[in-house]
Structure 1
Amino acid sequence: MLQLENITVRFGGLTAVNDVSLAIGSADVIGLVGANGAGKTTLFNAISGLVRPTSGRILFNGQDVLRAPMYQRARMGIGRTFQIPQPMHELTVRQNLLVAQRFGTGSVNHKRLDEILEFTSLAAKADADAATGLALTELKALEVAKALATNPKLLLLDEVLAGLETHGKRRFMHMLKDLHQQFGVSIVIIEHDIETISNLCQRVAVLNFGQMIAEGTPAEVFANPAVMESYTGAAHA
């Protein structure tokens, strides 16, 4: 589905992503891990169109989307969340989904919005002010709901579990598993919690200072001493 070929992203003299290649299939659930500043979110930004890579190619279903704007990538099926929830102020939860759906599909499907509200347990808050009427777990669910409203084939989840307590995190993780099955989307998730990644993901890719240093099953990757050093920062202690 998605093929990253030698992606490099530079900001002036800083190389945030360095020659990264990764293949994501139509049924994959992949964890993207690494220490803070490893380049994970920058890679998501490159895939979704928020930043343009300095070099490399991004193929989505065989089509080169490197120069495609963000809305075109969304309408092709690339959806994403952001690490810090970004509800649209002065709009209700349902209106937030409506705007996201128009952006990502160019049309409105109220039945699908109702399904998404039910799935993300936000139906009871559909008419609440999205910026002021939701708890943290609900704000995280709204991020996922907005991404689902764009009708994605590939979903990029940027630390959607961050800040949640243990019970909330596990409940959210089960929702993501159901999401993969019910909506038939591939998922790439940035997450620091090794237990979550191991339980949720089939494969794990590891970034360190912008470079891909390992890829494999969770058991393979987290047994690699070099990965653990880069992931925990032990090599720089």
Structure 2
Amino acid sequence: MLQLENVTVRFGGLTAVNDVSLSVGSGDVVGLVGANGAGKTTLFNAVSGLVRPTGGRIVFDGRDVLRAPMYQRARMGIGRTFQIPQPMHELTVRQNLMVAQRFGTGAIDERRIDEILDFTGLAPKAGRDAATGLALTELKALEVAKALATNPSLLLLDEVLAGLETTAKRHFMNMLKQLHQQFKLGILIIEHDIETISKLCQRVAVLNFGQLIAEGEPADVFSNPAVVKSYTGADIGGDAEPTGGARHA
């Protein structure tokens, strides 16, 4: 479904993403991890169309979308959330979903909106002002709901669990598992919590200073010396190859 081929993003003299190749198949759940500043959100921005890569290709459902604007990518099936919730001010929760749906599909489907409101637990708050009437957990749910309203086949989740306390995080994890099963989406998720990623994801990719240093099953990746060193600075296994033994072809 999504194929990144040697994607590079530079901002002046800074290389934020460096020659990254990565794939997400239909129905896959892939984690994207790395320290702050590793290039994770920049890679999301490149996939969704907020920034244009300096080099490489982004192929979605067989089409090169490198030059496609954000709204076209949304209508092709790429939906995303943002790390900091961005509700549309002076609009209700339902109206937020309607705007997102029109942006992503070009039309309004009230039944689909009702389904999403029920699924995310936001139906009781549908008439509330989205910017002032929701708690943090509900704002996070609204980010997911807006992305779902665009009718995606690929969902990019940017730290949707960040800032949540333990009970809320557990509830949100269960919702994400159900989301994957019910909506049959491919998911690429940025998350710092290794335990969460290990429970949610079939594969994990690790960025470090913009480079992909490991990719594979969670247990293999998180025991990779190069990954441990990128997180802790400790060298537990001597000099490791950048992609370690966990990289899948």
TM-score, normalised to structure 2's length?
0.93
Cα distance, 1:228 vs structure 2: 1.5
**Cα RMSD over matched residues?**
0.8
Of structures 1 and 2, the one scoring higher in RCO (CA 8 A, sep 6+) is 1
Q: Distance in 2 between matches of 1:201 and 1:217?
A: 8
Unaligned ranges ≥5, structure 2: 236-249
What amino acid maps onto 2:63 in structure 1? Q
CA deviation after TM superposition for structure 1 residue 227, in Å: 0.2
2:41 is aligned to 41
Percent of aligned pairs with the same amino acid: 83
Q: Which amino acid aligns with 1:87?
A: P
Q: Which residue of 2 aligns with 1:163?
A: 163
Partner residue, 1:83: 83
Partner of 1:153: 153
Kindly provide the amino acid, as one letter, of the partner of residue 133 in structure 2.
Answer: G
Q: CA deviation at 1:23?
A: 1.0
Q: Give the secondary structure class of the aligned counterpart of 2:196.
A: helix
Instruction: Identify the residue that residue 96 of structure 1 maps to in structure 2.
Output: 96
Report Cα offsets for 1:132-152 as digits up to 9, x if no partner: 000000000000000000000
Q: Residue 233 of structure 1: CA displacement?
A: 4.8
Q: Partner of 2:5 in structure 1?
A: 5
Matches within 5 A, 1:195-234: 195-234=195-234
- Aligned match of 1:53: 53
Q: Runs in 1 of length 4+ with deviation above 2 angstroms?
A: 231-235
Corresponding residue number in structure 1 for 2:21 = 21
Residue 124 (structure 1) aligns with: 124
What SS class does the counterpart of residue 160 from structure 2 fall into? coil
Counterpart of 2:174 in structure 1 is 174
Tell me the SS of whatever aligns to 2:116: helix
| 1:193-236 superposed Cα distances (whole Å, 9 cap, x missing partner) | 0000000000000000000000000000001121022134557x
- In structure 2, C-alpha distance between the alignment counterparts of 1:2 and 1:226, rounded to whole Å: 26
Distance of 2:231 and 2:170 partners within structure 1: 22
- Hey, what's the Cα distance between the residues in 1 that align with 2:206 and 2:43? 12
Distance 1:231 1:60 in 2: 31
Q: Find the counterpart in structure 2 of residue 72 from structure 1.
A: 72
| Paired residue total | 235
Q: Partner of 1:112 in structure 2?
A: 112
Deviation at 1:76, TM superposition (A): 0.1
Structure 1: distance between partners of 2:28 and 2:119: 21
| 1:159-194 C-alpha deviation (Å, 9 max, x unpaired) | 000000011101100100000010111100000000
User: Whole-Å Cα distance in 1 between the matches of residues 233 and 66 of structure 2?
Assistant: 32
Determine helix, strand or coil for the equivalent of 2:99.
Answer: helix
SS of aligned partner of 1:50? coil
Q: Contact (CA 8 Å) 1:103, 1:150: kept in 2 or not?
A: yes
Question: Any idea what SS the aligned residue of 1:79 has?
Answer: strand
Partner of 1:139: 139
